[in-house]
Structure 1
């Protein structure tokens, strides 16, 4: 899937498809959190019911992204697989802890992949973001090292929050805290990106000539 040339689409569609299922889960959870549903002789909380809704929503949004862009990143595919696995366990065992552990597994895997790339002197992050952030080799190494630590930090934060705080707190953290943390991280790396941007170096070279 990832080798197909990307198709053109309106810039708001991609973030809408990526955030749509997450916001739908949040809204559904807020509406159903005080309800219990008797299904097949077992009681299911609103959290588990919304987990069952979230899985197909994410699958449909991922399929729509593939149809619209012509490709999927490894992160998108891995996220979908882990959502299906941990969400499925949550529904099957009627235990919300599995779904809460899912972000931990995602961020550990992302951090481990970036760490493996650093050990092998290969830039996996550039394969995903190279088109939107053209950096030189040193810039990618620094960014990947920092992002590896960031992902491991997110994994620790997720574990701490779901194990010590309420489900409401975790849902708010998952819906808003993680995206805000990701945005803040990339904003904090703007200096590194500017120093190692290949576009700026090319422009400076042209100006000098």
Structure 2
């Protein structure tokens, strides 16, 4: 059945809103860092403010927020707020470590408990065999642990500018590359005409 122009416009608008909610705060963080002369405190203020705005706009437009953007935006507010309160930007730098580790624990813990969080999130878009769901879940869990370890190495050994670029767009590029590697597998079991974006920290 041919999609009407109204439906196409609505879907495009929803896609832009999701991208805005997911990445606008990180863009603001990146810009503020370099515009301010590489001042992490100023960049953290920008991140916190932009995260709050993105969450409000997402709720106002979509009347809801998907769990992953909500968790990521809320974590930015929490870790960014703590960094500002305690005047310690290390609290912001460990956010990717903590969140990616928690994502990995959630995925692996779900498998142990015979519950698959990734399947709950993506089952509307993909109809995968149970063995494939399990393999995909383990792959993502290991990838999140890799990102957590990599973040620790980068922020502890590199200058702030390097970590900021690693944080964005570095982590996004790594995540999309990893997800792209799974595209042939997922496309075999696609139930909709447009797959959802990959999980991101």
What TM-score results when the alignment is normalised by the length of structure 1? Answer: 0.79
- Deviates most, 137-146 or 64-73: 64-73
Secondary structure of the 1:71 match is coil
1:29 maps to 2:33: yes
1:80 maps to 2:73: yes
- Give 1:103's aligned residue: 96
1:20 maps to 2:24: yes
The within-5 A match list for 1:158-173 is 158-173=151-166
- Which ranges in structure 2 are unaligned for 5 or more consecutive residues? 1-9, 193-201
Query: How many equivalent pairs are there?
Result: 181
Quickly say closer, same or farther: Cα 1:175–1:198, change in 2 above 3 A: closer
Quickly say closer, same or farther: Cα 1:81–1:20, change in 2 above 3 A: closer
Q: Work out the CA distance in 1 between the residues paired with 2:20 and 2:117.
A: 25
Q: Work out the CA distance in 1 between the residues paired with 2:160 and 2:50.
A: 21
- Which ranges in structure 1 are unaligned for 5 or more consecutive residues? 1-7, 35-45, 201-209
The within-5 A match list for 1:182-197 is 182-195=175-188, 197=189
Q: 1:157 aligns with which of 129, 138, 150?
A: 150
1:128 maps to 2:121: yes
Contact 2:20/2:54 (8 A) holds in 1 = no
CA RMSD of aligned residues (A): 1.9
- Give 1:3's aligned residue: none
The within-5 A match list for 1:27-106 is 27-34=31-38, 46-106=39-99
Contact 1:139/1:193 (8 A) holds in 2 = no
Q: Work out the CA distance in 1 between the residues paired with 2:67 and 2:22.
A: 14
Q: Work out the CA distance in 2 between the residues paired with 1:67 and 1:127.
A: 25
Quickly say closer, same or farther: Cα 1:198–1:137, change in 2 above 3 A: farther
Give 4+ residue runs of structure 1 displaced > 3 Å after superposition: none
Secondary structure of the 1:133 match is coil
Shift, 1:198, TM fit: 6.2
Deviation by residue 1:23-60 (Cα, 9 ceiling, x = unmatched): 111011101135xxxxxxxxxxx211221221121122
Q: Work out the CA distance in 2 between the residues paired with 1:198 and 1:178.
A: 26
